[in-house]
């Protein structure tokens, strides 16, 4: 949104991608094609049949790829949060590519929080880890990734950093403190 709308001051991308994916994005006459799934790259766990989507998307580093989000248009500050054990896609690579694009266009370097042992589903602290689940849109079991203790620690770290980032970049001064 920050690439297409004025007035966005801060963006938090959790397990995000630097490209539009799965369907064409249309906004005010602009069109951004989708990063498509390359089903031939699908890997499965032989013991469970669950699928790893990590390498199933087209590579946004390909110069012919038109799905890359023009992040350099944004006036916002960025925080990218990604699990290093993400089994849905290569969040850390997508983050590095977004960072390179921002810096190459003279923008501030984004904040990046890489979480070792953390999977794709980075949720608020104390949510249970979901390593594998049935995903209705693709009609199969997907491996989300994550190691129990590391994922739990990653969620706590992410939650604290996201809150601080938003407080710092959205003018938290003057806001009432929670009594909880």
pLDDT value, residue 74? 95
Is 36:82 a contact under the CB 8 Å cutoff? no
Position 174 scores a pLDDT of 56
- Please tell me the distance from the alpha carbon of residue 180 to that of residue 176, in angstroms, as a whole number: 12
In the chain, the N- to C-terminal Cα span, in Å, equals 32
Report pLDDT digits (tens) over 62-81.
999 999 999 999 999 999 99
- Residue numbers in the chain where pLDDT is lower than 50: none
The pLDDT assigned to 175 comes to 62
């Amino acid at each position: 949104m920050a690439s297409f709308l004025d007035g966005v001051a801060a963006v938090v991308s959790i397990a995000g991608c630097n490209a539009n994916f799965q369907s064409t994005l249309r906004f005010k006459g602009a069109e951004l094609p989708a990063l498509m799934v390359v089903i031939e790259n699908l890997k499965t766990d032989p013991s469970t049949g669950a699928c790893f989507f990590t390498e199933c998307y087209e590579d946004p580093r390909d110069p012919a790829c038109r799905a890359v989000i023009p992040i350099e248009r944004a006036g916002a500050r960025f925080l990218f949060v990604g699990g290093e054990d993400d089994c849905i896609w290569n969040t850390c690579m997508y983050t590095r590519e977004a960072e390179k694009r921002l810096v190459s266009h003279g923008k501030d370097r984004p904040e990046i929080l890489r979480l070792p042992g953390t999977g794709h589903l980075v949720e608020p602290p104390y949510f249970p880890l979901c390593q594998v689940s049935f995903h209705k849109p693709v009609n199969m079991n997907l491996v989300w990734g994550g190691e129990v203790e590391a994922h739990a620690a990653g969620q706590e770290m992410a939650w604290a950093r996201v809150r601080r980032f938003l407080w710092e970049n959205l003018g938290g001064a003057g806001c009432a403190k929670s009594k909880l």
